[in-house]
Amino acid sequence: MDLSLVFAGTAGSVPTARRGLPAVLLRAGGDRILMDCGEGTQRQLIRSVGLVDLDAIFLTHLHADHWLGLPGMLKSFDLRERSRELLLYGPPGTAALLQSVRATYGRLGYPLAVIELDAGDAIEWDGYEIEAFNVAHRGQAFGYAVIEHDRPGRLDPDRARELGVTDGPDLGRLQAGETVDGVTADQVVGPPRPGRRIVFSGDTSPCETLRAQASGADVLVHEATFLHADLDRARQTGHSTARQAAELAREVEVRLLVLTHVSQRYHPREVRDEARTTFPATEVPRDFDQVVVPFPEKGAPELVRSELPVP
Amino acid sequence: MDLSLVFAGTAGSVPTARRGLPAVLLRAGGDRILMDCGEGTQRQLIRSVGLVDLDAIFLTHLHADHWLGLPGMLKSFDLRERSRELLLYGPPGTAALLQSVRATYGRLGYPLAVIELDAGDAIEWDGYEIEAFNVAHRGQAFGYAVIEHDRPGRLDPDRARELGVTDGPDLGRLQAGETVDGVTADQVVGPPRPGRRIVFSGDTSPCETLRAQASGADVLVHEATFLHADLDRARQTGHSTARQAAELAREVEVRLLVLTHVSQRYHPREVRDEARTTFPATEVPRDFDQVVVPFPEKGAPELVRSELPVP
């Protein structure tokens, strides 16, 4: 399964000339799932990978900078005659919020399912699940963990041949756990390989739930609203500093830390450099940059810079 | 008084990679007034002339593509600690709309005055007024006319000297209409010179009120959602074709026709060419382009192309 992220908006609270409001597109196999939908997200997608027919949108929390792009996007899907159901997941209050802005997008020609999650709820997708967990922001706020199912172990074809198994369908049956001509799967198939894990912090101060979810993650997408010099403001507002994000990433040994929700107070390079002092495998994407997440045996998660012009 | 427009968003309904949703910034002397505020307008301003401290926002109508940028912008003004009152004008229903999305921007640290206008209401500014008039769209919709006050006539200093008036303050008194040493103003001062007029059509089918307001306008900013081949769709949806806009401009002899609210169905060049066949003085601005409107004796209204990069 191909697994990658497109950073459609990497600013926090207020957009800048170069950074739109929060939104990350998760591409998992054929699924297209949006994490948050700040004002202008539909256009950020149009400007980069296209306004793809999303399967679902997950909101981390209901502060306006994380969802104000939703009504316009819902309407645009309607104007181009979407018929397929769209799933909208969010914390408690999401349904009431949608109802309150119902007039902005009016009657839609496709079903919109609004599903409020509780912490711990996991939505099953084809080959992975997305689990909501509580984080420490102002009001109820979620992070989300994208957890790929464990993959079957690797089959050793040489060992299978030694045991008299012929090439072809029998190898597939062994891989699937069956016994073939007295040869059992565990004789030729290694242990299950753990699936990949991508964790989104949402907006949060450092917290235990995030630490637990991020443990060993391939990619941790973490907010970094402040530099550590402004730690007090970070605490007051329920946000993190770049250093705090890096400390968490180091403690729980993520493979790649990706910082977002950056403030115009700082140059993004300052944010990156502060984090890298603690955790070198840190990136601060620009809008439209991607992060590809290969199977661990194929390589490390990697930032791919966009070649699109940024104003 | 300097008078110019900045086209912050020139798409209709759905943004494109190159065009944001409707918003035009009117700069009249020191005043900064926004006409409509589609999703993403705050960022369009940030990307071009900066998110200026607006004096007022006028909404032409309450369809979502014309105002969804408002809550985020209100919030951004608050985050940077605006204290000055902001005036929001719109058709009946504006106050209820703002109330319904109140939760999106929360408590603001500056006064926001929401003023519902009736057709014919004119708001007085320093040296000009802005008048709302009904247009023919779905539901209540306004166009707006920016009407500069007549300027005093031109004083002929040679004629004044012939009549024995000395240079200096006496000339100013004559210009102001006073009599000096038996010389009356009308002996040396020409007739009042008409002020400039900029008319915004809003979204509309051709209609008499617009025709009357646009008569002799220096600039008519007119929607052109369709080409004339799609006249039926224009009629059904309460919009205009480029040709209809051009016909109106020709009939009422505007100086410059500026087409906006262009659809991604067409290449903007098609829109421009269709209109120019009927009315050559037509422009179709790109986002961030400006139109400057000098005093008539100083030159014609002119499109000034932006040099900002457009994606």
Count the residues in chain A: 311
pLDDT band at B181 (very low <50, low <70, confident <90, very high): confident
Question: Which of A14, A20, A79 lies nearest to residue B14, judging by beta carbons?
Answer: A79
Structure tokens at A118: 């509780």
Q: What is the mean pLDDT of residues B148-167?
A: 90
Interchain CB distance below 8 Å, B14 and A103: no
Report the b/e string of B280-309 with b at 16+ CB within 10 A: ebbbbbbbbbbbbbeeeeeeebebeebeee
pLDDT score, position B311: 56
pLDDT score, position A166: 87
More confident residue, B311 or A224: A224
Nearest to B143 by CA among B102, B211, B202: B202
- CA-based nearest distance B123→chain A, Å: 28
pLDDT at residue B116 is higher than 70: yes
For residue B307, CA distances in Å to B49, B288, B289 come to 12, 9, 8
pLDDT at residue A286 is higher than 90: yes
Instruction: Identify the bridge partners of residue A4 per DSSP, sorted by sequence position.
Output: A27, A292
pLDDT at residue B175 is higher than 90: no
Count the residues in chain B: 311
pLDDT score, position B100: 87
**Number of Cα atoms under 13 Å in the Cβ half of residue A77:** 27
pLDDT band at B102 (very low <50, low <70, confident <90, very high): confident
pLDDT band at A287 (very low <50, low <70, confident <90, very high): very high
Q: What is the pLDDT of residues B243-262, one digit of tens each?
A: 999 999 999 999 999 999 99
pLDDT score, position A177: 86
DSSP state of A11: B
- CA-based nearest distance B41→chain A, Å: 9
Average pLDDT, chain A: 95
**Percentage of chain B surpassing pLDDT 70?**
99
pLDDT at residue B211 is higher than 70: yes
User: Residue A62: helix, strand or coil by DSSP?
Assistant: coil
pLDDT at residue A308 is higher than 90: no
Distance of CA A132 to the CA centre of its chain: 11
Nearest to A217 by CA among A276, A273, A291: A291
pLDDT score, position B303: 98
Average pLDDT, chain B: 95
Q: What is the mean pLDDT of residues A228-239?
A: 97
* Closest residue on chain A to B104 (Cα): A64
Structure tokens at B301: 């209204």
pLDDT at residue A310 is higher than 70: no
pLDDT at residue B309 is higher than 80: no
Q: How many CB pairs under 8 A join A and B?
A: 89
Interchain CB distance below 8 Å, A46 and B309: no
A145: left (phi over 0), alpha (psi -120 to 50) or beta: beta
pLDDT score, position B30: 96
Place of tokens 């939760």: B103
Interchain CB distance below 8 Å, B103 and A80: no
Interchain CB distance below 8 Å, A43 and B20: yes
Chain B residue set in contact with A, beta carbons under 8 Å = 13-17, 20-21, 39-40, 42-43, 46-47, 64-65, 68-69, 71-72, 75-76, 79-80, 97, 100-101, 103-106, 308-309, 311
Q: What is the mean pLDDT of residues A101-113?
A: 91
Question: Which of A42, A46, A71 lies nearest to residue B64, judging by beta carbons?
Answer: A71
pLDDT at residue A185 is higher than 70: yes
pLDDT band at A103 (very low <50, low <70, confident <90, very high): confident
Interchain CB distance below 8 Å, A311 and B75: no
Chain A residue set in contact with B, beta carbons under 8 Å = 13-17, 20-21, 39-40, 42-43, 46-47, 64-65, 68-69, 71-72, 75-76, 79-80, 97, 100-101, 103-106, 308-309, 311
Place of tokens 């921007």: B105
pLDDT at residue A267 is higher than 80: yes
pLDDT at residue B308 is higher than 90: no
pLDDT at residue B108 is higher than 90: yes
Interchain CB distance below 8 Å, A72 and B39: yes
pLDDT score, position B263: 95
More confident residue, B101 or B226: B226
pLDDT score, position A18: 94
Catalytic residues of A: 65
Q: What is the mean pLDDT of residues A211-218?
A: 98
pLDDT score, position B176: 84
pLDDT score, position B250: 98
pLDDT band at B310 (very low <50, low <70, confident <90, very high): low
pLDDT score, position B262: 96
pLDDT at residue A142 is higher than 80: yes
pLDDT score, position B213: 98
Bridge pairing between strands A302-304 and B219-223? unpaired
Q: How far apart are the first and last CA of chain A?
A: 33
pLDDT score, position B25: 98
- As a whole number of angstroms, the distance between CA B175 and CA A246 comes to 71
Q: Residues A240, A246, A247, A249: is their CA dihedral positive or negative?
A: positive
Nearest to A268 by CA among A38, A18, A22, A7: A18
Q: Is the ipTM of this complex over 0.90?
A: no
- As a whole number of angstroms, the distance between CA B130 and CA B114 comes to 16
Nearest to A109 by CA among A89, A79, A87: A79
For residue A30, CA distances in Å to A24, A54, A222 come to 16, 10, 25
